[in-house]
Amino acid sequence: MAQILVVDDEVGIRELLSEILADEGHQVLLAENAGEARRLRENYRPDLVLLDIWMPDTDGISLLKEWAASGQLGMPVVMMSGHGTIETAVEATRIGALDYLEKPIALQRLLATVKRALRNQEAVAPRELSLGTLGRSPALAEARKRLAQLAQTGAPLMLRGERGMRAELFARLLVAAGAPFVDGRELMADASSETLARAAGGVLFVGDLALLGRAEQKNLEFLLARADKHKARVVSFASVDGRALIEKHEFDAAMVARLSELVLKLPTLRDFAEDVPDLAALTLVQLVETRVCPPRRFSVAALNALRHHSWPGNLAELDSVVRNLALGALDEDIGLEDVERVVAAHAASSPPPEIALDRPYREAREAFERLYFQHLLVRENGSMSKVAERSGLERTHLYRKLKALGLPVGRREET
């Protein structure tokens, strides 16, 4: 049978529910507060959680929000309360709760709800990585604001940026709740009106345009011409500019003009380094929740090292590094040594980031300085005293320089 976690601060409620559920053949885990619930949920990943709303340390709604935001809402959750309101039940359902039980809980209502929740268990999957809850860095926060503004129109949008940006994560921010998001890159070989019907009212996303062959370009032209009729918005990504698409990749000029009615330049991962620890942690949670790897967690030192890496491969490289760490770490805690080992292996097989030499002198110099200090921050694990020593800059000057370049300031050691 199933493994069910019961979270309630009243010992009588816990014992009663435990007896009833055990008689039905279920294995029951008991937690009297949110802290214990977090530990049991992380260690056992139960099939169902019965969660009380009113608890002394952290209320059930806050814990539900926490699990949802961290990608840990991979199991059905049924809320319980003796003092609930319709508004509370609606909020819980909006966050992700499957159902709501009012105390005192009737036996038949409990058993029916548990049966239905377990029946729907397979339909509850860990949420995909989302940028919706991130934005510590000004660059990512600005990108989210611009995408929110662009979501108000249905015109074709071309996202521009470096390869490895996982542009679909940005494109998903354009989709309203409940609207479809269809990845058209996989469907380019057999484009049809059915493809557009699937994207009706939502977004049809096309990955890096520079990778499309002639036949796929023709199929994209077919979809683009009929998108308005199906009320499907075409959002594409290009790692090169429009002129290169036409001259080097043989795109039709009129189609490029149509695809780029609106254009948004995406920030590189280097531009929103402050969000790297959260991105890495969310990616790791996904791997744990989908049982790709056993339970893992990052140490503070490991997250700090990831933050200061230069990430020439952007989000795709971050995803690969985290996956390597999750599968290759020998202990549950992923430490600094693990990060240094995996990042070094990736650096050995990746070409160094290029600086565009056709830029104006000031921009080229700034690009070099950014790469230079990113390298030193990673090499010295964020130690500001060592970076100052290596660069030959006085500490105050170094802080001003990093701030001007938009780089995160590393550790401040006691002197």
CATH 3.40.50.300, applies to 138-265: yes
What is the pLDDT, as a whole number, of residue 293? 87
What is the pLDDT, as a whole number, of residue 32? 94
Q: What CATH architecture applies to the domain 3-123?
A: 3-Layer(aba) Sandwich (3.40)
Q: What is the mean pLDDT of the chain?
A: 87
Highest CATH level, class, for 269-349? mainly alpha
pLDDT tier, 150 (very low <50, low <70, confident <90, very high otherwise): very high
What is the pLDDT, as a whole number, of residue 187? 63
Is the entire prediction scored with pTM above 0.85? no
Query: Over the stretch 78-110, which tens digit does the pLDDT of each residue have?
Result: 999 887 677 888 888 888 899 999 888 999 999
Looking at residues 16-42, what average pLDDT do you find?
Answer: 94
Please write down the HEC assignment for all residues of the chain. Answer: CCEEEEECCCHHHHHHHHHHHHHCCCEEEEECCHHHHHHHHHHHCCCEEEEECCCCCCCHHHHHHHHHHCCCCCCCEEEEECCCCHHHHHHHHHHCCCEEEECCCCHHHHHHHHHHHHHCHHHCCCCCCCCCCCCCCHHHHHHHHHHHHHCCCCCCEEEECCCCCCHHHHHHHHCCCCCCEEEHHHHHHHCCHHHHHHCCCCEEEEEEHHHCCHHHHHHHHHHHHHCCCCCCEEEEEECCCHHHHHHCCCCCHHHHHHHCCEEEECCCHHHHHHHHHHHHHHHHHHHHHCCCCCCCEECHHHHHHHHHCCCCCHHHHHHHHHHHHHHHCCCCEECHHHHHHHHHHHHHHCCCCCCCCCCCHHHHHHHHHHHHHHHHHHHCCCEHHHHHHHHCCCHHHHHHHHHHCCCCCCECCCC
Query: Over the stretch 345-378, which tens digit does the pLDDT of each residue have?
Result: 877 655 555 565 666 787 778 878 887 887 787 6
What is the pLDDT, as a whole number, of residue 140? 95
